[in-house]
Amino acid sequence: MKEDKYIWEEFKNEKDQALSYIYHQHIDFLFSYGKKFTKDKDFLMDVIQDLFYRLIKSRKNLGETDNIRLYLLKSFQRMLIREIDRSKKQADLLNQYRFEPEIVFSIEENLIGDEERSKALSFIQQGMKALNSKQREVLYYKYTCGLTYPEICEMMSITPDSARQLVSRAIHSMKKYLSTNDIFLMLIFKKLKTL
């Protein structure tokens, strides 16, 4: 991630094109990640804008990074949880905001035909609900965000062995659930038809 290190240094040195690049490269990703915590789009945009405001304000004092996406994701997650907590305390909006991400994988959506999408997604969501929150979170980071195991460990504060074990157990549980509902075989068949 040599390029990220260079762009980050340019940003810290107050180069506007670096700020613009970072913002436009990561805004959609951060927004999508935030939707896993809350559906309030205005609230999410406010938190994202606040994140970038704080980064700009303190850019001279920021540390080094060779992975801008991970740096922004960790910072955004902390800010988002803090702001959700603050909102809950102020307005008691307990039902509107949730800390547990509701994870839906776009990979499955690509494999499922329009007619079967609703039924298949329902099975997948039920299968995801059968997983514990850590398993759902690790699958989200691994397959939706595309994070590596070291990055997952950093996000979740777990060891690499724990991360691999969580992913393995989650996939095993999903396969077991999906195969008992014949949806797993349907997904494989659909995938083979598209090859």
Question: From CA 133, how far away is CA 156, in angstroms rounded?
Answer: 12
Return the axis-axis angle of helices 2-12 and 68-91, rounded to nearest 10°.
60
pLDDT value at position 45?
A: 93
pLDDT value at position 14?
A: 87
In the chain, the percentage of residues whose pLDDT exceeds 90 is 27
> What is the DSSP secondary-structure string of 120-148?
HHHHHHHHHHHS-HHHHHHHIIIIIS---
If one compares 175 and 20, the residue with the highest pLDDT of the two is 20
Question: Which residue intervals of the chain bear CATH 1.10.1740?
Answer: 2-91
Band the pLDDT of 130: cuts 50, 70, 90. confident
pLDDT of residue 76 exceeding 90, the answer is yes
Phi-psi region of 95 (alpha: psi -120 to 50; beta: other; left: phi over 0): alpha
Question: Which residue intervals of the chain bear CATH 1.10.10.10?
Answer: 106-194
State the chain's maximal CA–CA distance in angstroms.
56
Poorest-pLDDT segment among 68-72, 104-108, 147-151, 153-157: 104-108
Tens-digit pLDDT profile for residues 78-124: 999 888 878 776 555 444 444 555 555 555 555 545 555 566 667 77
Fold of 2-91: Rna Polymerase Sigma Factor; Chain: A (1.10.1740)
Band the pLDDT of 22: cuts 50, 70, 90. very high
Q: What's the average model confidence in pLDDT over 157-177?
A: 86
Tens-digit pLDDT profile for residues 24-58: 999 999 999 998 888 889 999 999 999 999 999 99
Q: What's the average model confidence in pLDDT over 131-157?
A: 87
Fold of 106-194: Arc Repressor Mutant, subunit A (1.10.10)
